[in-house]
Amino acid sequence: MASIFAKKPLSQLLGEANSSGEGSLKRTLGAGNLVALGVGAIIGAGLFVRTAAAAAQASGPGVTLAFIVAAIGCAFAGLCYAEFAAMIPIAGSAYTYAYTTMGEFVAWVIGWALIMEYALGAATVSIAWSEYLNKLLEAFHLPPISYELSHSPFESAAVDGVMHSGIINLPALLIIVALSLLLIKGTQESAMFNAIVVFLKVAIVLVFIAVGWQFINPSNHEPYLIPENAEPVKNAAGTIVREYTGWNKHGWGGILGGAAIVFFAFIGFDAVSTAAQEAKNPKRDMPIGILGSLAVCTVLYILFGHVLTGVANWREFADPAKGGEASVTYAIKAHMPGYEWLGTAVTMAILLGFSSVILVMLMGQSRVFFSMAKDGLMPKAFSELHPKFRTPYKSNLALLIFVGAFAALVPGSLAGDLTSFGTLLAFVLVSAGVWIMRKSDPAQPRPFRAPLSSPSFPFVPIMGIVVCLGMIAALDEFTLKVALGWMLLGFIVYFIYGKRNSKLQQGIVVVPTEMEEQAFIEPDPKNA
């Protein structure tokens, strides 16, 4: 067998990327289309849920600075993604890039980590979907789904003075089931539906900023950073629910800790990189699409965080009985009298937006599984297509079980932080891959070159590595332990199954069939 660090030949990848068929994509996307794609993919659960979480747990009103730190890390990684996406426009994203630059074992690590990004990301958004569904039912004066049937068994809280413990998050499970079945059938959103969803997401943010600005209480922004001696937050029963003694829970350390939390709000910009094959001019349009969407969303995020922590005090969001869940709706109804209708409208539109985000994440995960299965690193079933719908139905069914169980039984805060870990690790390895590829294959044509990334002066890749590693270090200790356990499990699976079945290890060349070319060519973003 070959070394576990054996690399997949770049010529083979380019051959797969350039394979032709009726489903081949045309270069029809301009810079504006890519920016719209990025904005639509980025704005979702992260902004509406994680902003309040970061303020309550680590950053206070300084969550605006946390957004800036997270955006800087994304910008460095985004430049590296743009270089790879223009050079190797093929399904698999970071997993594929790692396979040709750092070898099979590192590719496995990044593929295993991507499960955290896509699968756990879908679970996190579905949990947020469940929270907002209850708020919507309350808005229409309908009985909400009970705490027991809408929360993880690891969660408990006082509701109307009575302590309740969760049993299963049923709404989160049901939305995962519904969208997984939709993906199995192969139905895709139309371009018009996608445009409406993007418009609604941005409109919600703009309306909240414009209206909420009038209700900002300047005292809520003082002090701007959580002080080291900040008093712990207690719930109605007098139980401490949040403390601020850790280095990453107050002051400037809290900004980095908050950045690690709100980083989840930026997940999705890498979806722009998968559209490289459709960009009219990748060299110009890819950096504009990736960095442009990041810039637009960062400005909106900063303004959104400023208004949210100005309307409601950040300490309120630490109490689950107040602003911990559906924090935006809570802030509107508790502190913006006369605009209760806005809270209801926000909830309805957010539910719609969350649904599309879950759909994209489940689809993205199935593509990673497909690429890994084609290479022999995952069971062959994950690459098998439905005879009628031409979708990876077995992969979607496996995701339905795995993601559904996670959504139903795991708290949203843990799922969100694990998602951030998986994405940050992928960004670290993609940044390192650009540096390595510049050294190992300097003559390879690159339609777009990340600036300041020469082998002798790899500033952008190094900064992408450093900033993203810093945010990983700022995640809470429990999340890091769970993530370490997950990665160790991945190592075991690789050596027991992946290495033995790897087609690269066996010297087998992977050639896509015509059916697979048509079914797994990257979908038009206007329809995804």
Report the SS3 class of residue 165.
strand
Model confidence, pTM: 0.77
C-beta separation of 359 from 189 below 8 A: yes
Mind listing the pLDDT tens digit for each residue in 173-207? 999 998 888 888 764 444 456 667 778 888 888 99
pLDDT score of 517 more than 70: no
* pLDDT at site 319: 76
Which of the 8 DSSP states describes residue 233? E
d(CA 354, CA 35): 19
d(CA 358, CA 395): 16
Taken in order of first residue, the domains within the chain and their CATH numbers are: 24-527 (1.20.1740.10)
- Count CB neighbours of 37 within 10 A: 26
* pLDDT at site 401: 93
Report the SS3 class of residue 479.
helix
* pLDDT at site 525: 36
Bridge partners (DSSP) of residue 156 are 165
The letter for the amino acid at 380 is: K
For the four alpha carbons of 462, 30, 202 and 528, in that order, the dihedral sign comes to: negative
Bridge partners (DSSP) of residue 89 are none
H or E element in which residue 489 lies: helix 477-493
Which of the 8 DSSP states describes residue 114? H
CA 116, 125, 45: angle at the middle one, nearest 5?
110
Bridge partners (DSSP) of residue 457 are 454
d(CA 294, CA 270): 10
Query: In sequence order, what DSSP letters do the residues of 66-93 get, joined into one string?
Result: HHHHHHHHHHHHHHHHHHHHHH---TTT
Mind listing the pLDDT tens digit for each residue in 451-510? 889 888 899 999 999 989 988 988 888 889 989 999 999 999 999 999 999 988 888 755
d(CA 386, CA 185): 9
Mind listing the pLDDT tens digit for each residue in 196-235? 777 888 888 899 999 999 999 999 999 999 998 888 888 7
**CA 78 to centroid of chain Cα atoms:** 14
Query: In sequence order, what DSSP letters do the residues of 249-284 get, joined into one string?
Result: SSHHHHHHHHHHHHGGGGTTGGGGGGGGGGBSSHHH
d(CA 147, CA 157): 9
